[in-house]
């Protein structure tokens, strides 16, 4: 047989034209095919410069070599790679079935939905369902205890817990009764009760160790000094409070959202969404530093998130059908949007009436996948935007918090007013069994602020909380929730489901039994083995010192 005639080789200067439409991951795969392609791909600075502009939204510096550009892109891809696949939301499906069975087959009507959930990144999960706040151990996979009022009751607020914020040593809760309660995590005691709002609490945040801020549905925003002598004596409602924003008269109730900014450039500032306006408040002077109405100014803002590290924020209005992205450093002053008119809902300061200098703070908009839907939960960081999307019958209600789907957008191109527009299509969209009510991401404190949050916390209307570590789940294929004999699913080992019809046990045990995935832990009386006497003396031996040392 005759030997095959070798094909003519393309010149190296033609390979950039052939590979112009390839992505960064495809270029790396081609470079590993053979030596010729490795040389052609590695020597083409134009290919990697184009990929740098597509991924990061700007051209690389002129003095940056090709190898340095490839290194920057590798780090950028490593940040988004753990989130390329959706979390194992199927774990919530079995838990929802168990909740329905525990409720006598009547669905989720009697199961208290998760109102708030916080994870410290080191093994302690705090969730609020109905009027109770519970502490869960990630290591033990069960409930530690419930916070109790001064009367010894688990129901902290008559109208249920509507908002919650946590720190290393404190938990702040706000409820439908208009009151706030501050708990000390060291001994799980009630530190003080804060009273002064005339409407239900819609948002509350902790500002360091001695201050807190809260907002109610009537538009009032208050700043609390929890270390004042009046608050320490008796733990009652005499704690000193300063009014940052007064109530809005003759206006229907609407959610007022608060987001503290902890970056060095925006320290001691508070981002507030109120009456269809985005406000930047100074905590020390109690002044309004900036204010701007979104393009959908006549509808209230129902979701908000901030990226402290880069100075960006995301907001979603009720009828906008998209998520607006803001550069907080470019927000205009009050005089640019009508002065005191910004404090009145329905004023004449519409978005199109603003001067171009005031509109440049809006650096992008991300449309939702389906028209007529509303974003209920948002999370924004250096590489991604997580959106909880409500497309149900109550999507036009301001106080609804249920999201049927969760979508992830690539935000690595979000760099400023001169950057290219972020991706208009989500990387993935997943349906949440039982509808999501809480969505946030946290990172391990030991990694510092340089790393993006890698742990997803998702609460549902069925009373379940899913904690999923994306970094640990990347490429994993293990049993669901670690139970023996369960069907193998990628990323399930890094997930845990908490909550349940029986408050003495976590629901992941009931969920596995209902789905036939195995027995999991035994039903014998659980007794913790005290190894280290840590920060929580009343929590059955649980200690963050042990979790941190692993």
**Can you give the pLDDT at residue 452?**
66
**Can you give the pLDDT at residue 358?**
75
- Whether the pLDDT of residue 396 is over 60: the answer is yes
**Can you give the pLDDT at residue 35?**
81
Percent of the chain with pLDDT over 70: 70
Top-confidence residue, 170 or 476: 170
- Whether the pLDDT of residue 223 is over 60: the answer is yes
Task: Determine the Cα angle at 182 with ends 468 and 452, to 5°.
Answer: 30
Instruction: Give 132-181 pLDDT, tens digit per residue.
Output: 899 988 877 788 888 988 888 888 888 889 999 998 889 999 998 899 99
- Whether the pLDDT of residue 507 is over 90: the answer is no
**Can you give the pLDDT at residue 164?**
92
- Of 78-82, 119-123, 451-455, 503-507, the poorest mean pLDDT is in 503-507
Question: In DSSP terms, which residues pair with 385 in a beta bridge?
Answer: 380, 409
Instruction: Give 251-273 pLDDT, tens digit per residue.
Output: 888 889 999 887 655 668 899 99
**Can you give the pLDDT at residue 394?**
65
How many Å apart are CA 76 and CA 335, to the nearest integer? Answer: 39
**Can you give the pLDDT at residue 237?**
46
Average pLDDT, stretch 414-420? 55
**Can you give the pLDDT at residue 155?**
87
Question: In DSSP terms, which residues pair with 241 in a beta bridge?
Answer: 224
Given strand 428-442, what is the order of strands in its sheet?
374-380, 384-390, 403-410, 428-442, 455-460, 465-469, 495-498
**Residues in CB range of 499: below 8 A, 6 or more apart:** 95, 114, 127, 129, 462, 463, 464, 465, 506, 507
The dihedral sign for the CA sequence 346, 350, 351, 354 = negative
Count of alpha carbons within 13 angstroms of residue 170, beta-carbon side: 20
How many Å apart are CA 219 and CA 189, to the nearest integer? Answer: 30
Q: Which of 27-31, 34-38, 43-47, 191-195 has the highest mean pLDDT?
A: 191-195
Q: Please report which confidence band the pLDDT of residue 3 belongs to, taking 50, 70 and 90 as the band edges.
A: low
Percent of the chain with pLDDT over 90: 15
Instruction: Give 429-470 pLDDT, tens digit per residue.
Output: 999 888 888 888 887 554 444 456 788 888 888 888 888 888
Count of alpha carbons within 13 angstroms of residue 81, beta-carbon side: 13
Average pLDDT, stretch 538-545? 42
What DSSP designation does 420 have?
A: P
- Of 39-43, 51-55, 492-496, the poorest mean pLDDT is in 492-496
- Whether the pLDDT of residue 91 is over 70: the answer is yes
**Can you give the pLDDT at residue 415?**
67
- Give the rounded distance of the alpha carbon of 363 from its chain centre: 21
State the pTM of this model. Answer: 0.80
How many Å apart are CA 190 and CA 154, to the nearest integer? Answer: 12
**Can you give the pLDDT at residue 514?**
41
**Residues in CB range of 275: below 8 A, 6 or more apart:** 219, 248, 251, 254, 300, 343, 344, 345
- Whether the pLDDT of residue 502 is over 50: the answer is no
**Can you give the pLDDT at residue 52?**
86
Strand boundaries in 99-200, DSSP class E: 114-119, 124-129, 132-137, 142-146, 161-166, 170-175, 179-184, 189-195
- Whether the pLDDT of residue 322 is over 80: the answer is yes
**Residues in CB range of 428: below 8 A, 6 or more apart:** 84, 85, 86, 407, 408
**Can you give the pLDDT at residue 102?**
38
Structure tokens at 241: 């409070």
**Can you give the pLDDT at residue 517?**
38
- Whether the pLDDT of residue 506 is over 50: the answer is no
- Whether the pLDDT of residue 353 is over 60: the answer is yes
How many residues are listed for the chain in this entry? 550
Locus of tokens 């014998």: 524
- Of 321-325, 450-454, 518-522, the poorest mean pLDDT is in 518-522
Q: Please report which confidence band the pLDDT of residue 482 belongs to, taking 50, 70 and 90 as the band edges.
A: very low
**Can you give the pLDDT at residue 364?**
86
CA distances to 125, 303, 435 from 401, rounded to whole Å, are 21, 9, 9
Locus of tokens 């020390």: 284
**Can you give the pLDDT at residue 371?**
82
Instruction: Give 103-117 pLDDT, tens digit per residue.
Output: 332 222 224 688 889
Instruction: Identify which of 228, 223, 255 has the alpha carbon closest to the alpha carbon of residue 242.
Output: 223
Top-confidence residue, 533 or 239: 239
Burial class (CB in 10 A: 0-12, 13-18, 19+), 386: buried
CB 193 within 8 A of CB 202: no
CB 412 within 8 A of CB 57: yes
**Can you give the pLDDT at residue 444?**
59
**Can you give the pLDDT at residue 510?**
41
* Dihedral Cα 344, 346, 352, 357, nearest 10 deg: 10
**Can you give the pLDDT at residue 422?**
60
- Whether the pLDDT of residue 543 is over 60: the answer is no
Instruction: Identify which of 191, 197, 192, 159 has the alpha carbon closest to the alpha carbon of residue 178.
Output: 197
Residue 104 has a CB neighbour count (10 Å cut-off) of: 8
Locus of tokens 């400023």: 416
Query: Is 99 in a helix, a strand, or coil?
Result: helix
**Can you give the pLDDT at residue 408?**
93
Domain boundaries, the chain: 12-79
What is 182-239 written as a DSSP string? EEETTTTEEEEEEE--SS-EEEEEEETTTEEEEEETTS-EEEEETTSHHHHTTTSTT-
- Whether the pLDDT of residue 369 is over 60: the answer is yes
How many Å apart are CA 148 and CA 112, to the nearest integer? Answer: 18
**Can you give the pLDDT at residue 305?**
93
Summary mean pLDDT of the chain: 74
- Whether the pLDDT of residue 513 is over 80: the answer is no
**Can you give the pLDDT at residue 139?**
79
Structure tokens at 79: 């940040």
């Amino acid at each position: 047989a005759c030997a095959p005639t070798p094909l003519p080789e393309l010149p190296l200067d033609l390979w950039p034209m052939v590979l112009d439409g390839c992505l960064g991951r495809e270029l790396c795969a081609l470079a590993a095919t053979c030596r010729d392609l490795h040389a052609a791909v590695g020597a083409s600075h134009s290919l990697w410069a184009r990929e740098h502009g597509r991924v990061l939204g700007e051209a690389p510096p002129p003095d940056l070599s090709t190898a340095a550009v490839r290194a920057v892109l590798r780090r950028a891809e490593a940040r988004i790679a753990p989130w390329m696949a959706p979390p194992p939301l199927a774990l919530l499906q079995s838990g929802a079935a168990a909740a329905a069975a525990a409720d006598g087959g009547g669905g989720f009507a009697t199961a208290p939905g998760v109102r708030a959930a916080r994870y410290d990144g080191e093994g302690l999960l705090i969730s609020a369902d109905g009027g109770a706040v519970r502490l869960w151990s990630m290591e033990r996979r069960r409930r530690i205890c419930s916070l109790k009022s001064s009367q010894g009751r688990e129901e902290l607020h008559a109208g249920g817990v509507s908002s919650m914020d946590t720190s290393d040593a404190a938990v702040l809760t706000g409820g439908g009764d208009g009151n706030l309660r501050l708990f000390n995590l060291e001994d799980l005691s009630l530190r003080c009760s804060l009273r002064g709002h005339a409407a239900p609490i819609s948002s509350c945040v902790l500002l360091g160790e001695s201050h807190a801020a809260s907002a109610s549905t009537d538009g009032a925003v208050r700043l609390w000094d929890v270390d004042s002598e009046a608050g320490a004596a008796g733990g009652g409602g005499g704690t000193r409070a300063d009014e940052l924003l007064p109530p809005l008269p003759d206006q229907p109730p609407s959610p007022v959202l608060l987001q503290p900014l902890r970056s060095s450039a925006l320290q001691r500032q508070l981002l507030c969404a109120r009456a269809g306006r985005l406000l930047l408040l100074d905590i020390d002077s109690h002044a309004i530093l900036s204010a701007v109405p979104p393009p959908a100014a006549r509808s209230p803002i129902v979701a908000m998130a901030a990226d402290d590290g880069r100075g960006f924020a995301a907001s979603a209005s009720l009828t906008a059908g998209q998520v607006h992205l803001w550069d907080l450093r470019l927000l205009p002053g009050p005089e640019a949007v009508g002065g005191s008119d910004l404090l009145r809902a329905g004023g004449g300061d519409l978005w199109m009436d603003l001067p171009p200098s005031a509109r440049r703070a809006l650096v992008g908009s991300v449309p939702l996948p389906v028209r007529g839907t509303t974003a209920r939960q948002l999370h924004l960081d250096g590489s991604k935007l997580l959106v909880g999307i409500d497309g149900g019958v109550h999507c036009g209600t301001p106080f609804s918090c249920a999201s049927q789907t969760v979508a992830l957008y690539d935000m690595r191109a979000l760099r400023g007013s001169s950057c290219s527009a972020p991706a208009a299509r989500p990387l993935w969209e997943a349906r949440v069994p039982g509808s999501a009510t809480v969505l946030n991401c946290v990172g391990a404190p030991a990694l510092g602020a340089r790393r993006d949050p890698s742990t997803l916390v998702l609460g549902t209307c069925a009373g379940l909380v899913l904690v999923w570590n994306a970094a640990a789940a990347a490429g994993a294929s293990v049993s669901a929730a670690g139970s023996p004999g369960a069907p193998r699913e990628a990323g399930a080992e890094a997930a845990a489901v908490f909550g349940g019809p029986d408050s003495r046990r976590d629901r992941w045990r009931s969920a596995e039994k209902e789905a036939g995935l195995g027995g999991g832990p035994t039903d014998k009386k659980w007794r913790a083995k005290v190894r280290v006497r840590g920060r929580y003396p009343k929590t059955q031996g649980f200690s963050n010192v042990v979790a941190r040392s692993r």
